[in-house]
Amino acid sequence: ENTQLKDIVAHAKEYGFVFPSSEIYDGLQAVYDYGPNGVELKNNLKQLWWRAMTQLNQNVVGIDAAIFMHPLTWKASGHVDGFSDPMIDNLDSKKRYRADVLLEEKAAQYENAGDKIRADMLLADMGRLLTAEDLTGVRQLIIDEKITCPVSGTANWTEVRQFNLMFSTQVGSVADDSSLIYLRPETAQGIFVNFLNVQKSARMKIPFGIAQIGKAFRNEIVARQFIFRMREFEQMEMQFFVRPGTEMEWYQQWKETRKRWHEALGLPAEKLRFHDHDKLAHYANAAVDIEFEFPFGFKEIEGIHSRTDFDLTQHQTLSRKKQQFFDNDLDENGKAYGNYVPFVVETSVGADRLFLATLCQAYTEETITEGEGEQQQTKTRTVLRLHPALAPVKAAIFPLVRKDGLPEKATEIFDELRHDFRLVYEERDAIGKRYTRQDLIGTPFCIAVDHQTLEDNTVTVRHRDSREQTRMPISELRNYISEAVSF
Ligand code: ATP
């Protein structure tokens, strides 16, 4: 229970899950690479999400839109004018902070000290000033609250400025204003601009959804907490188009569906909670976060937003192309609903944040007892208790010794099962050591081939979580593993 983020970061690096980007050059802040085990875990998460969305819901289809989009997209969505965070610098330490985060941390201190009223008042003041774009007021609040720079302890703050989080670059060889384009800060807009293409080509009727997984980029002011807040990350988003007036029902439904999905992945109910937004974004009429309790507290992993008809209407205005659906269903008066701009309920989850949540949840250090009688000893073991469907390796196959035909027999089993599961084969080191290595990466099963195997075609299956061993005919392995790793 005392797992710290630093243990997770160290483990992730040592066992090939996550590396700092360009590490030989001392890394690039808030950018990370996934290693051999990390990419498997992340792909498993993405596949399960994709399947839950597009395969289990007949009325949800997928797309894969480009990262670059026409610049007017971001004008329409509000990102050019409004996608910014209030930034403040400390003159002594030359460190940069998000003004709202400094105030939120102060509020958390009040709350931890039992002063919930003062915490709420501070947050309300901040919300009011930010909505009114009173940035001088936000600075004054930081000064009044005697917030000092966490590094230098000084209170020497600059004014607060809005800092746009979009990365921009130039297309083509002539650099002028018209060639300025952005790296998408969310995948959602690629869905909105394709609304009619998808609706018509896939012959969708409202209500229906469009799902997408892809990279998004934000020039976050403060990048902390490992892969929780990155400058390049991956989103899994679904926009669900509904008839106006029905959005609240769908909002409730998706909210529950999505929380249940996280629980099915192995995130326990008591570590998940909803957090309603008091302060709504310009496009939303309801919004909730699903939060997970990370080692650094409850934080958002997924957002469910009722986005009204904001995005499609904006695109309709700026593109001068109708973004409407003709609904020939009849209302209670027997009249067709006709043409309208659909409302949208969005579910948006970060693949990297979810990865971090599953890793934090799975990471376990435990005291175990091994051996019998005189030989008995206790030791600590580190194990990743990942849902078997998420595990990078589903089973490891070990010949007990490197002779007597055991490697050949083990290789035979490996060749038979590798078409169905991601496996590893290992014959070096004592078997206990090989088990330990698989525990560290969360492999649910280790299959040991011994002399008895040559006589009766049975193997020992060792279970990651209980460390129990069961004897099983080789012929049953495929079904047994299949069942355990299904989701
Ligand atoms: P935050 O308040 O933490 O910045 P947000 O409310 O801006 O997040 P959304 O715009 O709702 O986030 O994005 C949806 C999801 O995308 C988030 O729930 C999160 O999982 C993921 N996400 C957003 N920003 C980042 C980031 N910088 N790094 C990793 N994942 C992110």
Of 107, 135, 163, the residue at which a domain comes to its end is 163
H helices of 208-363, where? 247-264, 310-319, 351-362
Q: Could you tell which of 166, 267, 353 is best to mutate to test the pocket of ligand 1, judged by most ligand atoms within 8 Å of the CB? A: 353
Name the residue with the closest Cα to ligand 1, atom 30. Answer: 350
H helices of 367-471, where? 406-417, 431-441, 451-456
Structure confidence at residue 266 (pLDDT): 97
Q: Do both 280 and 332 map to the same domain?
A: yes
Ligand 1 centroid from CA 218, angstroms: 9
Confidence of residue 129 (pLDDT cuts 50, 70, 90): very high
Residue 374 belongs to a domain: no
Q: Residue 103 sits in a domain of what CATH number?
A: 3.30.40.230
In angstroms, the CA 14 to CA 304 distance is 35
Name the residue with the closest Cα to ligand 1, atom 2. Answer: 300
Residue 372 belongs to a domain: no
Domain carrying residue 265: 5-73+165-359
164 is in an annotated binding site: no
Of 138, 163, 188, the residue at which a domain comes to its end is 163
**Mean pLDDT value of segment 155-184:** 88
Residue 298 belongs to a domain: yes
The pair of structure tokens assigned to 373 is 């009688």
Cβ count within 10 A of residue 330? 10
Q: Do both 183 and 158 map to the same domain?
A: no
Structure confidence at residue 282 (pLDDT): 78
**Mean pLDDT value of segment 263-285:** 90
The count of domains in the chain is 3
Residue 378 belongs to a domain: no
* Region of 332 on the Ramachandran plot (φ > 0 left; ψ -120 to 50 alpha; else beta): alpha
Q: Do both 343 and 274 map to the same domain?
A: yes
23 is in an annotated binding site: no
- Closest by alpha carbon to 91, among 27, 135, 29, 139? 139
| φ/ψ (deg, to 5) at 296 | -105, 20
DSSP string, 86-115: EEEEETTTTEEEEHHHHHHHHHHHHHHTT-
Whether 300 is in the pocket of ligand 1, judged by its Cβ within 6 Å, is yes
Cβ count within 10 A of residue 379? 10
Q: Residue 465 sits in a domain of what CATH number?
A: 3.40.50.800
Q: Give the rounded distance of the alpha carbon of 392 from its chain centre.
A: 17
Structure confidence at residue 175 (pLDDT): 66
Render pLDDT for 301-342 as a digit per residue (tens, 0 to 9). Answer: 999 999 999 999 999 999 999 999 999 999 999 999 999 999
ipTM over cut 0.90 = yes
Q: Are 345 and 244 in contact (CB under 8 A)?
A: no
Between 283 and 432, name the one with better pLDDT. 432
Asked whether the predicted pLDDT for residue 173 surpasses 90, the reply is: no
Render pLDDT for 397-424 as a digit per residue (tens, 0 to 9). Answer: 999 999 999 999 999 999 999 999 999 9
Q: Do both 203 and 69 map to the same domain?
A: yes
Q: Do both 254 and 328 map to the same domain?
A: yes
Q: Do both 410 and 442 map to the same domain?
A: yes
Residue 69 belongs to a domain: yes
Render pLDDT for 359-396 as a digit per residue (tens, 0 to 9). Answer: 999 999 999 998 888 889 999 999 999 999 999 999 99
Q: Do both 124 and 15 map to the same domain?
A: no
Ligand 1 centroid from CA 350, angstroms: 6
Structure confidence at residue 224 (pLDDT): 79
443 is in an annotated binding site: no
346 is in an annotated binding site: yes
Ligand 1 centroid from CA 176, angstroms: 31
In angstroms, the CA 439 to CA 292 distance is 24
Q: Residue 54 sits in a domain of what CATH number?
A: 3.30.930.10
161 is in an annotated binding site: no
In angstroms, the CA 327 to CA 340 distance is 8
Residue 20 belongs to a domain: yes
The pair of structure tokens assigned to 328 is 């020939």
Residue 140 belongs to a domain: yes
* Region of 152 on the Ramachandran plot (φ > 0 left; ψ -120 to 50 alpha; else beta): alpha
Q: Could you tell which of 272, 300, 349 is best to mutate to test the pocket of ligand 1, judged by most ligand atoms within 8 Å of the CB? A: 300
Structure confidence at residue 223 (pLDDT): 77
Q: Do both 403 and 285 map to the same domain?
A: no
Whether 218 is in the pocket of ligand 1, judged by its Cβ within 6 Å, is yes
Asked whether the predicted pLDDT for residue 1 surpasses 50, the reply is: no
Cβ count within 10 A of residue 387? 21
**What is the edge-to-edge ordering of all strands in the sheet holding 84-90?**
95-98, 84-90, 161-164
In angstroms, the CA 287 to CA 346 distance is 9
Q: Do both 234 and 313 map to the same domain?
A: yes
Confidence of residue 179 (pLDDT cuts 50, 70, 90): confident
Asked whether the predicted pLDDT for residue 2 surpasses 90, the reply is: no
Residue 383 belongs to a domain: no
Question: Long-range contacts made by residues 317-325, C-beta under 8 angstroms, separation at least 24?
Answer: 317/76, 318/72, 318/75, 318/76, 319/72, 319/76, 323/195, 323/196, 325/199, 325/206, 325/241
* Burial class, 351, CB count within 10 angstroms (exposed 0-12 / middle 13-18 / buried 19+): buried
Q: Do both 397 and 349 map to the same domain?
A: no
Give the whole-number percent of the chain exceeding pLDDT 70. Answer: 99
For the chain, the distance separating the N- and C-terminal CA atoms, rounded to the nearest angstrom, is 27
Q: What share of the chain is helix, strand, coil (3-state, %, to 5)?
A: 40, 30, 35
Of 163, 187, 218, the residue at which a domain comes to its end is 163
Asked whether the predicted pLDDT for residue 176 surpasses 80, the reply is: no
**Mean pLDDT value of segment 25-52:** 97
Q: Do both 103 and 217 map to the same domain?
A: no
Give the whole-number percent of the chain exceeding pLDDT 90. Answer: 89
Name the residue with the closest Cα to ligand 1, atom 14. Answer: 348
Q: Do both 327 and 414 map to the same domain?
A: no
